[in-house]
Amino acid sequence: MTAISVDFASAPVLPKWLVPVLLLAVAYGVVPLIGSSYLFEAILLPFLALSLAGVGLNILTGYAGQVSLGSAAFMAAGAFAAYNFNLRVEGLPLIGSIFLAGIVAAAIGIVFGLPSLRLKGFYLAVSTLAAQFFVQWALTKFSWFSNNSASGVIDAPRLSISGFALDGAIGRYLFALTVVTVLTFLAHRLVSSQTGRNFIAIRDNETAARIIGIPVLKTKLLAFAISSFIIGVAGVIWAFAYLRTVEPDGFDLDRSFQILFIIIIGGLASIRGAFFGAALIVVFPLALSRLGVFLLGDLFDSGVLDMSQRIVLGALIILFLILEPDGLVALWDRVRRRLLFAWQST
Amino acid sequence: MPLPSYTLGVMEASAYAPEVFARGLPSSPRLRQQSEDTGEPINSVAGVASPLLSLQGIGLSFGGVVALADIDLSVLSGEIRAIIGPNGAGKSSLINVISGVYRPDRGHVRLDGISYAQVPTQRLAHLGVARTFQNLALFKGLSVLDNVASGLAYKVRSNFAGQVLGIGRSRGEQRDSRSRAEQILEFLDLSSVRDHLAGTLPYGLQKRVELARALVAEPRLLLLDEPMAGMTAGEKSEMAAFVRAARDRFATTVVLIEHDVGVVMGLSDRIAVLDYGRKIADATPDEVRNDQRVIDAYLGVASDNEDGAGI
Ligand SMILES: Nc1ncnc2c1ncn2[C@@H]1O[C@H](COP(=O)(O)OP(=O)(O)OP(=O)(O)O)[C@@H](O)[C@H]1O
Ligand SMILES: [Mg+2]
């Protein structure tokens, strides 16, 4: 009946699931065979944990439009909760500890999301700082959380699933990969569901959303809960699979900003964006230090590295905000379209 | 509403919409006809028309600015009720009061027999009221189809877990809202842009998508704040035809704010005229056209009324 005009009739359309499935096939089938332990320990494990945290924050900030600077607090809550569930609940399987840790993080997320019912933008961001400082303070102050360990730094339990040990680099990688894959898939389903559309509606026009009957308050708190759940689980992966220690120090404000930068650089309101951003954030300092040592030799010590990292990263974020506000994802899609187009016209 | 008759209606409306409009144009005040031919005044109970919406003594000010002063207004079921007036007259404030966005300092809004000091915005959709905004209020990051489907969000009862896992009533709801949104898109001739992001459409189309989002819930009362602002003459008459067709198709009562007096005259049954927050006239188009106070109010701001449509 209606004539449908197709804008990109010429561009070949790949099925949407193809790229993720290929990537997963490589991640499960190829990487464990050829990866060095450096690749797992220094690159892939932090990449997976930060990607998942980015996915979580993107649901809250990218989709629902609520800015948060408390991500690291929710990671910490997840990590310590999982540690304590594992320690104190006899016979609870690892997956159970992780799930409950997510629930604890979600509950804390709801509490610190309450200000969002009244506050917006900058003011909300400042109020989420309260979560950041409170959680870190509580974890340091009450040694019960770290099982009264003198240093406050505790060893994470060894990963195992139904008696099958996963504490080698590859085992931890596969474990992290699986958790990240499952949660990312669910997050993808969520953002294309009615609830996900409600998130976007509230972000784009809260008054209109309220007028058409979207339960604005409930939906905002739901965004905080789901986002914090995912970030909490990312915290577990960070502590259990990557660092193998649980300590409050790693979950400071810097980490919160890092996750915010990940979604800004990668692309707001994009699940893929979190992975792009995390890849850049993880690989960038390593590449920078190699380049620095190559160019400057011994002059390039860790102090110089740290400083140059901050400067270059800051510049990068400003550049992205100005030139490509939709992030690496948008850049990538443009390049890919060009390539496909060029390939077609040959 | 059974689907076949609906589909028929859609075809009728979109095929003959311009003609519907043309018939409407040569000022045919429906209300007067109705009272003359003693046929059936809409929604009459024992000869007395009961208003779907009535405002009683509404007063609203912002600091020292009086936006609305002692406004009474009644809207009968099924009519197209225009509100006109110069810039800053308080028209949008009035719609904001009716939809609960503003709480009036004085007075009550009576909707379907229930009186409110402030209409509960969150329940507006359940009450059968939908509105559009003077400044576009679409969800820019959603496709046209999703924007329109979101107009049915108030009915959703499945929770996020069901939606993520695709179980329970979520699938049926999703199917239902999509198909209803698609029907409305077709009705408003928007099917060809259904997958575009709303924010990327030209202004006139965005206005129409906003109408679609409001209409998809088949509201009993539709509040339109300048749905034709900034449109070309052609787009305006198209939009006017859609408003009329929507009223006829869904038996919706319409409150319409519009600056183009030519459009208003052809489209509306009754017109209320606001000036500096006061209602200075409330009558049929013909009577308003010849009302001295209305002429004065408009002449006073002649430069604002560039649309030229002379009263
Ligand atoms: N939220 C607000 N805060 C302060 N003043 C307001 C607010 N809303 C409306 N006003 C004031 O109330 C008066 C009426 O405004 P309103 O927007 O209702 O006029 P209008 O008739 O819709 O005008 P226009 O034709 O320009 O849309 C104006 O003086 C306006 O400045
Ligand atoms: Mg206005």
Residue of A nearest to B216 (CA): A212
Bridge partner residues of B225 (DSSP): B257
Residue B289 pLDDT class (50, 70, 90 cuts): confident
Structure tokens at A342: 């060029």
Q: What does the pLDDT look like over A9-44, one tens digit per residue? A: 445 567 888 889 999 999 999 999 998 989 999 999
Q: What average pLDDT does range B176-192 have in this prediction?
A: 95
Q: How far apart are CA A39 and CA A286, in angstroms?
A: 11
What pLDDT does residue B49 have?
A: 60
- Residue B65 in contact with ligand 1 by CB distance below 6 A: yes
Average pLDDT in chain B: 83
Task: Give the separation between CA B98 and CA B103, rounded to whole angstroms.
Answer: 9
Mean pLDDT on A286-311: 83
For residue A1, is it within any domain? no
User: Residue A206: exposed, middle, or buried by beta-carbon count in 10 A (0-12, 13-18, 19+)?
Assistant: middle
DSSP state of A326: T
The number of beta carbons lying within 10 Å of the beta carbon of residue B309 is 14
> According to the model, what pLDDT value does residue B292 have?
85
Which atom of ligand 1 is the closest one to the Cα of B96? 18
CA pseudo-torsion sign B13, B18, B22, B28: positive
In angstroms, the CA A72 to CA A248 distance is 9
Q: What is the CATH number of the domain that holds A93?
A: 1.10.3470
CA distance B83 to B92: 9
C-alpha A309 chain-centroid distance: 20
**How many structural domains is chain A composed of?**
1
**Contact predicate A256/A238, CB 8 Å:** no
Which range, of A150-159, B168-177, B245-254, averages the lowest pLDDT?
Answer: A150-159
Which pLDDT tens digit goes with each residue over A173-193?
Answer: 999 999 999 999 999 999 999
Question: Across residues B224-250, what is the average pLDDT?
Answer: 93
The confidence band for A158, taking pLDDT boundaries of 50, 70 and 90, is: confident
CATH 3.30.365.10, domain B15-155+193-299, yes or no: no
Q: How far is A165 from chain B (nearest CA, A)?
A: 30
B87 touches ligand 1 (CB under 6 Å): yes
pLDDT at residue B308 in the model: 44
- A268's CB contacts (< 8 A; 6+ apart) are A58, A61, A62, A326, A327
d(C-alpha A323, C-alpha A302), whole Å: 31
Q: Does the distance separating the beta carbons of A213 and B122 come in below 8 Å?
A: yes
**Confidence bin at A143 (pLDDT 50/70/90):** confident
- Residue A65 Cα, ligand 1 centroid: separation in angstroms? 28
Q: For A208-222, A326-340, B15-29, B264-278, which range has the lowest pLDDT when averaged over its residues?
A: B15-29
Q: Which of A3, A203, A204 shows the shortest C-beta gap to B192?
A: A3
Half-sphere exposure of B5 (CA within 13 A, CB side): 4
Q: Residue B228 is encoded by which pair of tokens?
A: 């034709």
What confidence tens digit (pLDDT) does each residue in B209-220 have? 999 999 999 999
Q: The whole model's pTM is what?
A: 0.86
Nearest CA-CA partner of B216 in B259, B237, B187: B187
Q: Does A3 reside within a domain?
A: no
DSSP class per residue in B141-168: TSBHHHHHHHTTGGG----HHHHHHT-T
Query: Does residue A9 belong to any structural domain of this protein?
Result: no
Ligand approaching nearest to the C-alpha of B259:
1
CB B276 within 8 A of CB B66: yes
Whether A7 is in a domain gets the answer: no
Q: Is A130 exposed, middle or buried (0-12, 13-18, 19+ CB in 10 A)?
A: middle
The pLDDT score that the predictor gives to residue B38 is 40
Distance from CA of B104 to the nearest CA of A (A): 17
User: Which H or E element spans position B233?
Assistant: helix B233-250
Which alpha helices (DSSP H) does B37-159 contain, by range?
91-98, 144-150
N-to-C CA span, chain A? 36
Place of tokens 């979600």: A106
CB B172 within 8 A of CB A234: no
Closest residue, chain A, to B100 (C-alpha):
A211
Three-state DSSP class for residue A70: coil
Q: Quick check: is A4 in a domain?
A: no
Q: Which residues of B touch A205 (CB under 8 A)?
A: 137-139
Tokens describing residue A72: 């690291």
Indicate if ligand 1 lies below 6 Å from the C-beta of B134.
Answer: yes
CB-based contacts of A329: which residues, under 8 Å, 6+ apart? A266, A267, A270, A272, A273, A276
Model pLDDT, residue B22: 34
Cβ of A193 and B142 within 8 Å?
no
Nearest protein Cα to ligand 1, atom 8: B93
Predicted pLDDT at A316: 86
Q: Among A41-45, A90-94, B231-235, B290-294, which is the least confidently predicted range?
A: B290-294
Higher-scoring residue by pLDDT: A152, B279 = B279
10 Å Cβ neighbour count for B225? 23
Question: What integer is the mean pLDDT of B89-111?
Answer: 96
Q: ipTM of the predicted structure?
A: 0.85
Average pLDDT of the residues in A128-153: 86
The fraction of chain A above a pLDDT of 90, given in percent, is 61
Domain contains A12: no
Residue B101 contacts A where some CB pair is shorter than 8 Å: yes
Beta-bridge mates of residue B274: B279
Residues 196-225 of B with CB under 8 A from A: 213-214, 217
Given B99, B141, B177, which is nearest A269 (Cβ)? B141
- What would the pLDDT profile of B6-56 be if each residue is shown by its tens digit? 333 333 333 333 333 333 333 333 333 333 344 344 443 444 467 899 999
pLDDT averaged over every residue in chain A: 89
Res B28: pLDDT = 34
d(CA A111, CA A104): 11
Amino acid A197: pLDDT: 96
Phi, psi (deg, nearest 5) at residue A85: -60, -45
C-alpha of residue B112 to centroid of ligand 1, in Å: 27
Cα-based angle B188, B194, B198 (whole degrees, multiple of 5): 95
Binding site membership of B89 for ligand 1 (Cβ less than 6 Å): yes
What is the average pLDDT across A315-338? 88
Domain that holds residue A231: 18-345
Indicate yes or no: CB of B163 within 8 angstroms of CB of A208.
no
* CA B12 to centroid of ligand 1, rounded, Å: 38
Residue A4 binned pLDDT confidence (cut-offs 50, 70, 90): very low
